[in-house]
């Protein structure tokens, strides 16, 4: 269970770089465009261009390579496997290089994004994007609140899972060894335990929140305070630029 502590994927590292200070919406847009383009490109040239873009992002965000590496190294075996598969079994040299590289770049970009964007920012971005839905009577306020609280309690739920896991171990459950069938049988009490723990928390939270006159559509902690500036404009421009490069190289 300690592996969960070591995962920087999905974790936010506070910082003061250029990238940290950008509005999450522009970053979201850029990353989305990047991901889509990387997925569809077919040439090594484009791959190296987009690869350098990722490098620039990491440098601008002043992220330590070691940290990004930690988020990715777990998946290296899969990358290697893909590489060999395409090289040996499919006999497509280029694909062998492209496909694992695509996965690699995807991961790097996602990791960089999450390392530079706090959950709060992310939810603010989502909140702004979804706000027009309010007119359609979609309970956006409620959903966002739930999302925020879930994110806040995620580490606690992980701890609950860890406790249930250890309780199982204390009762003699053996997770070492490769008995897959045994693992599956133990999954049920593990999930049940986490579920019950989560429900208990939810019940307490509901009482606490309701007692403080909860109102979903009130502005909490300034989700409305997002403002885009000229730097974000530049980011959108870069995203456009990526598309243009793709268009230019392909047609």
Partner 1 sequence: MEIVFEQVSYSYKGLQPAATPALQHVSLVIPSGQYVTLMGANGGGKSTAAQMINALILPDSGEVRVGEFRIHRKSKRHLQLRQKVGFLFQNPKYQLFGDTVYRDILFGLRLMGISEEMMREKAVSAMERVGLSYEEFADVSPHRLSGGQMRRAALAGILAVEPDVLVLDEPTSGLDPQSRQEILALLKRLNRELGTTIVHVTHRIEEAVESDRILVMQEGEVRADVLTSSDDLWAQLSAQGLVIPPYRQLMQSLEQLQGEPFSAAINSEQQLIDFLKMKIREAQRGITS
Partner 2 sequence: MKPVLEMSDVWYRYPMREDWMLKGIDVRIDQGEWVSVVGANGSGKSTWVQLLNGLLRPTQGKVFVHGLDTSEEQHLLKIRQQLGIVFQDPDNQVVRMTVWEEVAFGLRNIGVPPADVEERVNQALQMTDLYSLRDRSPHTLSGGQKQRLAASAVLAMRPRVVVFDEATSMLDPWSAQCLLKIMDDLRGSGITVIQITQEMEEILNSDRVFVMGGGQILEVGCPSDVLRDQDLLQKAGLVPPFVARLREALAQEGVSLPDETTSLSEMAELIWKSFLSK
Q: Which residues bind partner 1 (CB under 8 A)?
A: 2, 5, 11, 160, 163-164, 166-172, 174, 176, 189, 192-193, 196-197, 200
Of the pair 2, 225, the CB lying nearest partner 2 is at 225
Which of partner 1, partner 2, none does 207 bind, CB closer than 5 to 8 A by kind?
partner 2
Asked if 40 contacts 65 with a C-beta cutoff of 8 angstroms, the reply is no
SS3 173: coil
Scan residues 190-229 and list those touching partner 2 (CB under 8 A): 200-201, 204-205, 207-215, 218-221
Give least dist CB 13 to partner 2, A.
Answer: 14
Is 43 or 208 the residue whose CB approaches partner 2 more closely? 208
Q: Which helix (H) or strand (E) covers residue 80, if one does?
A: helix 76-84
Q: Nearest approach, Cβ of 247 to partner 1 (angstroms)? A: 41
Please identify, using beta-carbon distances, which residue of 5 and 182 lies nearer to partner 2. Answer: 5
Torsion sign (Cα): 79, 45, 36, 231: positive
* Total residues interacting with partner 2, rule: CB under 8 A: 24
Helix (H/G/I), strand (E/B), else coil: 62: coil
Among positions 143-162, residues that touch partner 2 (CB under 8 A) are 145, 148-149, 152, 155-156
Helices 230-250, 44-60: crossing angle, 10 deg rounding: 170
Say if residues 135 and 35 touch (Cβ distance below 8 Å): no
CA distances from 41 to 94, 204, 212, 247 (A): 12, 50, 52, 10
Binding partner of 225, given partner 2, partner 1, none, CB within 5-8 angstroms per partner class: none
- Smaller CB distance to partner 1: residue 105 or 161? 161
Q: What is the 3-state secondary structure (H, E, C) of 146-172?
A: HHHHHHHHHHHHHHHHHHHHHHHHHCC
**CA end-to-end span of the chain:** 49
| Window 14-43: residues binding partner 2 (CB under 8 A) | none
216/233 with CB nearer partner 2: 216
Q: Which residues bind partner 2 (CB under 8 A)?
A: 120, 145, 148-149, 152, 155-156, 200-201, 204-205, 207-215, 218-221
């Amino acid at each position: 269970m300690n592996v969960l502590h070591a995962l920087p994927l999905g974790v936010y590292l506070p910082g003061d770089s250029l990238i940290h200070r950008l509005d999450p919406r522009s970053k979201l847009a850029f990353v989305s465009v990047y991901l889509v383009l990387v997925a569809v490109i077919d040439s090594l040239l484009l791959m190296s261009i987009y690869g350098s873009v990722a490098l620039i992002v990491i440098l601008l965000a002043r992220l330590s390579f070691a940290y990004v590496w930690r988020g990715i190294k777990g998946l290296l075996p899969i990358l290697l496997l893909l590489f060999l598969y395409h090289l040996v079994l499919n006999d497509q040299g280029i694909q062998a290089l492209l496909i694992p590289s695509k996965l690699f770049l995807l991961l790097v970009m996602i990791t960089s994004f999450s390392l530079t964007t706090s959950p709060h920012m992310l939810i603010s971005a989502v909140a702004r994007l979804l706000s027009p839905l309010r007119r359609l009577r979609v309970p956006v306020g409620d959903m966002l609140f739930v999302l925020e609280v879930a994110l806040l309690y995620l580490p606690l739920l992980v701890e609950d899972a860890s406790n249930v896991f250890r309780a199982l171990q204390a009762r003699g459950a053996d997770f070492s060894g490769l008995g897959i069938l045994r693992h599956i049988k133990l999954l049920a009490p593990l999930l049940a335990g986490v579920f019950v723990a989560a429900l208990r928390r939810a019940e307490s939270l509901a009482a606490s929140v309701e007692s403080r006159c909860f109102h979903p559509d009130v502005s909490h902690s300034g989700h409305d305070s997002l403002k885009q500036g000229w730097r974000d404009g530049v980011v959108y421009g870069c995203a456009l630029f990526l598309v243009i490069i793709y268009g230019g190289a392909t047609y």
